[in-house]
Amino acid sequence: MIKKSRILLSRYATFIKKESTQTRDMVITFKHMLEKQLGGNKNPTPEEVKEALNQLKDVGKMTALLPLVALPGSVLTIPILVKIGKKYNIDILPNPK
């Protein structure tokens, strides 16, 4: 059980690092969009805007999951919530990319 918990925590830490990088990229893209609106010269590509919007959705999902991670028993709670979400066709986890 301890080994499995360590593996899950390691995966979660890796996932958090990746989400952090993607969120930084999202903020940069939105910054460029704002600069363009204000007369700047950098214009994000449609692909960058699409990725930024998808990441913004992931940020919302991560924000909702953070309190659950801090609770005791989250190793059991989160998989149960994911399973219930799938049953009702609700994706509660951020999209891995």
Confirm whether 95 is domain-assigned: no
Confirm whether 49 is domain-assigned: yes
pLDDT, position 64: 79
pLDDT, position 18: 82
SS3 90: coil
Ranges of the chain with pLDDT below 50:
none
Alpha helices in 38-88 (DSSP H): 46-70, 74-87
pLDDT, position 1: 62
List the domain range (segments joined by +) for residue 27. 2-87
25-43 tens-digit pLDDT: 888 888 888 887 777 777 7
**C-alpha to C-alpha distance for 26 and 28, rounded to whole angstroms:** 5
Confirm whether 93 is domain-assigned: no
Residue 30's Cβ-count burial label (10 Å; 0-12, 13-18, 19+) is middle
Confirm whether 28 is domain-assigned: yes
Q: Is the pTM of this model over 0.75?
A: no
Residue written as token pair 């360590």: 6
